[in-house]
């Protein structure tokens, strides 16, 4: 018996080897991405190829890591109002922490700059360098960013993560998720 014969005998059948790539159940993917399973179904049909990025095994769906990354890239591409420029990649102070991070990690997070007191369902925010309007359930517990006369920030606005925004148009977004429980606190 040669070494090739031994390797062939010990190797898994092609079908079993292929399913080993699909090791993340659908519920875990939905939880990891903060999505409902219905939304994940929509994104799976839109961005993924069956047998390559996901597979049905015994009636349950399992995803490959590459498929999960394709969904994430699709969400970012849909919700990015404009392309990032080198000017957007300047160090930014992150709310609640005394350190700075590269803005590339938070470029898609919106910062509240104005709250409309007469219309509690809308607020104005900066997203990727553009001013956008965000529709929320109630804007009472959001904090707006304040600047002094010289343009220095005196109060940081509430940061809304990009995963909680759904794009309606280039200037109007829906806030998906829970609003802050108390003023400035999630």
Q: How far is CA 170 from the centre of its chain?
A: 17
| Residue with tokens 């498929």, as numbered in its chain | 67
Q: How much is the pLDDT for 155?
A: 85
Q: How much is the pLDDT for 16?
A: 44
Q: How much is the pLDDT for 2?
A: 59
Q: How much is the pLDDT for 86?
A: 38
Q: How far apart are CA 29 and CA 36, in angstroms?
A: 10
Partners of 110 in the β-ladder: 160
Q: How far apart are CA 23 and CA 25, in angstroms?
A: 6
pLDDT in tens, 18-33: 445 788 888 888 887 7
Q: What is the CATH number of domain 3-79?
A: 1.10.1660
Residue 53 half-sphere exposure toward CB, CA atoms < 13 A: 16
pLDDT in tens, 43-61: 888 888 888 888 888 888 8
Q: Where are the domains of the chain?
A: 3-79, 86-175
More confident residue, 5 or 152: 152
């Amino acid at each position: 018996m040669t070494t090739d014969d031994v390797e062939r005998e010990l190797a898994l059948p092609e079908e079993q080897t292929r399913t080993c790539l699909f090791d993340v159940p659908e519920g875990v993917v939905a939880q990891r991405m903060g999505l409902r399973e219905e939304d994940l179904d929509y994104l799976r049909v839109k961005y993924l190829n069956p047998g390559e990025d996901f597979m049905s095994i015994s009636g349950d769906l399992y995803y490959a890591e590459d498929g999960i990354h394709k969904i994430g890239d699709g969400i970012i591409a849909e919700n990015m109002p404009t392309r990032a420029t080198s000017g957007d990649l300047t160090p930014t102070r992150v709310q609640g922490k005394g350190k700075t991070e590269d803005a590339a990690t938070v470029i898609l997070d919106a910062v509240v700059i104005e709250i409309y007191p007469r219309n509690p369902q809308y607020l104005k925010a900066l997203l990727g360098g553009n001013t956008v309007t965000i529709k929320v359930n109630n804007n009472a517990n959001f904090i707006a960013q304040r600047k002094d006369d010289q343009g220095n920030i005196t109060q940081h606005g509430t940061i809304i993560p990009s995963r909680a925004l759904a794009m309606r148009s280039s200037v109007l977004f829906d806030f998906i998720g829970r609003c802050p429980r108390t003023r400035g606190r999630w």
